[in-house]
């Protein structure tokens, strides 16, 4: 007998709360991308997240909590800098890596002694946290390695049949996952660029932070893996994506999809639409998709990070095609 079930899209907070408290998984909106959520204190429920997404058990989840005040329930030795940033940016699209307290089960953090904590701003998620009174573990609501969903319909396409409910909170405000920032050693490190940029963070902290980037195999420096989820490839459409200097070189080729940002008036708008535009092109059966990187500053850093990972290092220059091996 098939264990597939009928997945319903709902706007009911009460249903979401019930599902979480019963130990089920549910997809829900955040201001960044949709998340696949479960009670972080319920190990069996958390295991369902990994199973459903086919996410490797070594890749830890973000724990979502209600307020800055709650941070110390789940993390210890919280540096003053975290509070400074949280006052400015939380609730919002930023995740802090901190020393974990025992209340967070090891399965949530993939056995690490650190925990990723985020205070989401989406009003529906806030209501759920207030009613459930438990921390909520949630990765993005896509199959592992695939494009993050930014609306309920896109979650449905990814996960239908695998969960009871998707909570519909409309289109996500930012469209790109949170900035992940680590306070584990002496230097503060951005492990994943996002809407809150290095410059903004440095301005608040009045000190330098390091942006950890994945280096190519040709690089002399070996990259330490600070974040198990910093895979070389990620966020990928099924259709191969190539990075190229000028997408219009491919305009005449009917079997090539162009990821065209020219109609957007800002990089924020590009970020908001990035995953959904890629998904639309992915559905059209092209032989491949081409995209160009954007200016590598501000939110452009996060956009280029996602494009690099989605392209898996594939580059097209004129008739030349190159595959860079990006090492973890
Ligand atoms: O905006 C977001 O952050 C969304 C929404 C749903 O909140 N969530 C999200 O989760 O993007 P996920 O699981 O797709 O990405 C979380 C990233 C992964 O790269 C993971 O490896 C990293 O955070 N991470 C989680 N816990 C960590 C830890 N203790 N140390 C280092 N990296 C960690
Ligand atoms: Mg993800």
> For residue 54, what are the contacts with CB-CB under 8 A and spacing of at least 6?
143, 144
Q: Are residues 205 and 245 in the same domain?
A: no
> For residue 137, what are the contacts with CB-CB under 8 A and spacing of at least 6?
37, 38, 39, 40, 46, 49, 61, 62, 63, 64, 108
Q: Give 139's DSSP letter.
A: -
Average pLDDT over residues 117-138: 98
Residue with the smallest CA separation from ligand 1 atom 31 is: 227
CA of 61 to the centre of ligand 1 (A): 5
Q: Are residues 18 and 138 in the same domain?
A: yes
Total structural domains within the chain? 2
Cα–Cα nearest to 101, from 123, 72, 136: 72
Tokens of 312: 């898996």
164-180 residue pLDDT tens: 999 999 999 999 999 99
Q: Are residues 293 and 190 in the same domain?
A: no
Average pLDDT over residues 102-119: 97
47-88 residue pLDDT tens: 999 999 999 999 999 999 999 999 999 999 999 999 999 999
Higher-pLDDT residue of 232 and 40 is 40
Would residue 236 be called left, alpha or beta, if left means φ above 0 and alpha means ψ between -120 and 50 degrees?
beta
The pLDDT confidence band at residue 226, using thresholds 50, 70 and 90, is: low
Task: Pick the last residue of a domain from 165, 196, 211.
Answer: 211
Q: Are residues 172 and 296 in the same domain?
A: no
Q: Are residues 197 and 278 in the same domain?
A: no
Cα–Cα nearest to 26, from 143, 154, 166: 166
Q: Are residues 137 and 268 in the same domain?
A: no
CA distances from 125 to 29, 32, 119, 282, 297 (A): 7, 12, 10, 29, 30
Q: Are residues 34 and 153 in the same domain?
A: yes
Regarding the beta carbon of 62 and ligand 1, being less than 6 Å apart is answered: yes
Whether 98 and 82 have beta carbons less than 8 Å apart is answered as: yes
- What is the predicted pLDDT for the residue at 134? 98
Q: Are residues 144 and 257 in the same domain?
A: no
Segments forming the whole domain that contains residue 17 = 8-211
CA of 235 to the centre of ligand 2 (A): 7
Q: Are residues 174 and 260 in the same domain?
A: no
39 within a domain of the structure (yes/no) = yes
Global model pTM greater than 0.75: yes
247-292 residue pLDDT tens: 999 999 999 999 999 999 999 999 999 999 999 999 999 999 999 9
For the chain, how big is the Rg over CA atoms in Å? 19
88 within a domain of the structure (yes/no) = yes
Q: Are residues 273 and 197 in the same domain?
A: no
């Amino acid at each position: 007998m098939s264990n597939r079930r009928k997945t319903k899209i709902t706007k009911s907070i009460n249903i979401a709360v019930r599902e979480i408290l019963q130990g089920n998984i549910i997809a829900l909106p955040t201001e960044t991308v949709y998340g696949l959520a479960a009670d972080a204190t319920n190990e069996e429920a958390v295991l369902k997240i990994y199973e459903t997404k086919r996410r490797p058990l070594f890749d830890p989840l973000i724990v979502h909590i209600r307020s800055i005040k709650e941070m110390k329930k789940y993390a210890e030795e919280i540096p003053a800098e975290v509070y400074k940033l949280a006052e400015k940016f939380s609730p919002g699209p930023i995740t802090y890596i901190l020393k974990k307290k025992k209340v967070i089960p090891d399965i949530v953090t993939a056995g690490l002694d650190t925990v990723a904590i985020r205070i989401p701003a989406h009003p529906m998620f806030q209501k759920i946290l207030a009613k459930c009174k438990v921390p909520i573990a949630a990765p993005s609501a896509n199959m592992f390695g695939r494009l993050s969903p930014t609306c309920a319909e896109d979650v449905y396409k990814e996960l239908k049949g695998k969960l009871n409910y998707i909570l519909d909170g409309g289109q996500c405000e930012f469209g790109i996952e949170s900035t992940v920032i680590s306070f584990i050693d002496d230097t503060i490190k951005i492990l994943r660029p996002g809407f809150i940029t290095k410059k903004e963070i440095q301005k608040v902290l009045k000190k330098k932070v390091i942006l950890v980037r994945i280096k190519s195999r040709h690089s002399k420096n070996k990259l330490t893996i600070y974040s198990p989820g910093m895979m070389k490839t990620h966020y990928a459409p099924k259709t191969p994506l190539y990075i190229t200097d000028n997408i219009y070189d491919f305009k005449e080729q009917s079997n090539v999809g162009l990821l065209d940002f020219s109609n957007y008036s800002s990089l924020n708008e590009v970020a908001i639409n990035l995953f959904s535009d890629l998904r639309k092109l992915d559905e059209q059966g092209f032989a491949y998709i081409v995209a160009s990187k954007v200016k590598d500053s501000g939110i452009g850093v996060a956009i280029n990070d996602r494009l690099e990972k989605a392209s898996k290092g594939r580059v097209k220059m004129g008739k030349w095609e190159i595959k860079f091996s990006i090492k973890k």
